[in-house]
Amino acid sequence: MAFNSLLFIFFFLPIFLLLFYVVPKKCKIYVLLLFSIIFYYFSGLFNLIILLAVTLFNYLYSFVINKYRNKFVLIINLLINLVVLGLFKYNTNLVLPLGISFYTFNNISYIVDLYNKKCSIIKNIFYYFTSSMLFTHVTMGPISKYSDLYENLKDFDYKDEDIYSGFRRFLSGLIKKVLVADNLGLLVSNLGAISDKSSLVCLLYLVSFALQLYIDFASYSDMAIGLGKMIGLKYKENFDYPYIAKSITDYWRRWHISLSTFFRDYVYIPLGGNRVGVFRHIINLLIVWCLTGIWHGRTINFMLWGLYYGIILIIEKYVLKDKLSKLPNFLQHIYTVVIFLFGYIFFSISDFNEMGHFIRSLFTNHYLDSNFVFYLKENILLLVVGIILCFKLPDKMKKLLDNKYVSILSVICYIGLFILVISYILGGSFSPFLYTNF
């Protein structure tokens, strides 16, 4: 079951919300746990068994960690979690359980925080299982600290305006996913299928893929944050308009924030972070970005993608230093866009022969071909909308939207777009979220 499926929108979510809102406060945790189990069951019984097993193992192990707080005991836990993750994620003969990368990291963060006395042990098994299995984030994050979730689960502090704003956030994510990201996905597939690409087709492919990946994942984050808000769960933002960044360092502060934060807190800082010598700091950065690449996929291109960013960040830190910030803003933006667009070659193409052919075509096939003209003409509105979604609304625009009459108009627009979304889904245009692959 996915957030953008008719089953979720018209059956699962309404029934869940009805029961959640009518039961007494002390029973809400059980309703949430039950529906989280049901939600995940629809991904397959085997997937559910793996999730239950990982959660139960870490719940029981937390008592061992809490009692002994021994580094060897901690390492054993980390090894078991990572071996299970690696077994499924990097063995091509096994099916990748949905969301295993995210819920494994959620469990690891709790065990490490407990070891470091940054949180208290969660003794109530229902609260722990609910934290691990929350349907609002179990498949694709955001990666959350158990201590933050636990406080929310105890209170379920939400108001009527939270329900409204949460639903609007969920709906806006659904609209962006179905009407924009999925159609960009079709464009990417069509462009990728062209055997003899011109430089312009290659560039259009990279721009389209960049827009698709960002809008697809950001729309899921919108839906997860919106769902959480509707029931009193306060998730942190996972994206902060990364495509307006002025450097790659800035870009990675804005992109998939929960994953970047996880690697910073649980890998980079324990390795010494930047409180070490230059050589050791460079090694730390390369380790973190190699692991980031490995986390994203089982093929070598993802490791190459991770190392690519590690090297760029090292260059920004030790070669460019403050030179980049002295450039005009538009040049800083152009530099950043060029770097992350080229990086998407490694991210989107796993076959090295195809990758090499693509790079050669990008830099050598300088001609205006009919494929570029056709796909640009047919998708110009889609691309413009996608680009607009990468930018923040100006403050004046936000104030305008708060106007009573504009708000009424926005509700009408939401209703119209929701009807259009449903028609797209009924027409068979359902597409899973890209990050379910990771």
DSSP state of 181: I
Residue 307 structure tokens: 């190392």
Biggest distance spanned by C-alpha atoms of the chain: 68
Single out the catalytic residue among 137, 256, 296, 333.
296
Integer Cα distance of 223 and 168 in angstroms: 9
Q: How many CB atoms lie within 10 A of CB 257?
A: 20
Integer Cα distance of 152 and 172 in angstroms: 24
Characterize 75-111 residue by residue with b for buried, 16 or more Cβ atoms within 10 angstroms of its Cβ, and e for exposed: eebeeebeebbeebbeeeeeebbbbbbbbbbbbbbbb
Residue 310 structure tokens: 């590690």
Residue 271 structure tokens: 């390795």
Inter-residue contact 128 to 155 (CB < 8 Å): no
From residue 293, alpha-carbon distances to 27, 83, 215, 288, 359 in Å are: 41, 17, 20, 9, 20
For this structure, is 296 an active site residue? yes
Secondary structure (DSSP) of 315-374: HIIIIITTTGGGS-HHHHHHHHHHHHHHHHHHHH---HHHHHHHHHHHHH--S--HHHHH
Which of the residues are catalytic? 296
